[in-house]
Structure 1
């Protein structure tokens, strides 16, 4: 199974972002992008790649330990940006330093080697060949500031690719216990 670990925003946060970003699909260059489905919007903490199904219980146990050591977080989807001309994303505000620590703890617990620093974001669209105009699309989201929500669950997710957009399903989920490190005051 192709797996990753994520925090999933609640329906209300997804609906707000969907409404705020709907006009982006009408902008020049939008037709060249692969838009992610709102049903699959998430904040990736760690990508695991292909993992044998019999390893899922062990992974879930390690995630439960991490969740028990980290507090629930107050987050909001806000703003937008790009990774070059290949990825258009919505940003995250709130207890982002604690979210970075959580992502680091997940990566450490699951022995995930990743050369890229964790940057909290939700991917809206991708381009294989690079697309001009992405920065302008990100500027449209500059003033977006969604509702604050509590991230209290860590999800082990399965990614299925093939024809059409990727499909994501929950394999396991663990609840943060609200203990652990002090929260950021941002």
Structure 2
């Protein structure tokens, strides 16, 4: 995929994220597969596991070139990511992998990105980011979750992705990528 990829003519539900390296995604997906047996729910597809930095919602196609230019103009740093904890959010029935300790570099990256998106009118305001990767949706309470062996990597690219809903849940597709420096 190139940075010039254009999506469908209708507004697209877009978000910026860090995509997981394949080896990390595989390990987390395998761990989530062991949880789904006792909690039910829908296992997220391995190739779509990501950590959202900014959810934009519906963006008209005519604004996509502007969004691509904005992302290309940003000089955002590579950040270390460490996922070492599993959790469950009862209010939205999600089992997730996240950070056991504060992740200041990751939070600063999300804040810098969101600040630029607010200034360009793509977001109404900055939102606090709770760094996590959704592993299961529509899960019942899984009870005590197993320990998560730490998954660490250096995030080297910013991904613009599109989401859409199907009868089998949400689907995510990366549509453009930019390096983090």
The bucket for the TM-score relative to the shorter chain is 0.7 to 0.9
Q: Which runs of 5+ in 2 are unaligned?
A: 1-11
- The Cα RMSD (Å) is 2.2
Q: Cα distance 1:40–1:113, how it changes in 2: closer, same or farther (>3 A)?
A: same
What is the Cα deviation at residue 35 of structure 1? 2.7
Alignment match, 1:97: 104
Q: Does 1:34 align with 2:39?
A: no
Preserved CA contact (<8 Å) 2:33 2:43: no
What is the Cα deviation at residue 92 of structure 1? 3.4
Q: Which runs of 5+ in 1 are unaligned?
A: 178-186
Counterpart CA distance in 1 for 2:33 and 2:13 is 29
Matches of residues 1-186 of structure 1 in structure 2 within 5 Å?
Answer: 1-27=12-38, 30-31=39-40, 33-66=41-74, 68=75, 70-86=76-92, 87-92=94-99, 96-111=103-118, 112-113=123-124, 116-127=127-138, 131=140, 133-134=141-142, 136=143, 139-140=145-146, 142-146=147-151, 148-177=152-181
Counterpart CA distance in 1 for 2:101 and 2:23 is 17
Q: Cα distance 1:39–1:52, how it changes in 2: closer, same or farther (>3 A)?
A: same
What is the Cα deviation at residue 170 of structure 1? 1.5
Give TM-score, length-normalised by structure 2.
0.81
Preserved CA contact (<8 Å) 1:89 1:125: yes
Q: Deviations over 1:48-80 (max 9, x none)?
A: 1111112112112222233x1x22112133211
Flag as ranges the 4+ runs of structure 1 deviating above 4 A: none
What is the Cα deviation at residue 18 of structure 1? 1.7
Higher strand share: 2
Name the SS for the 1:166 alignment partner. strand
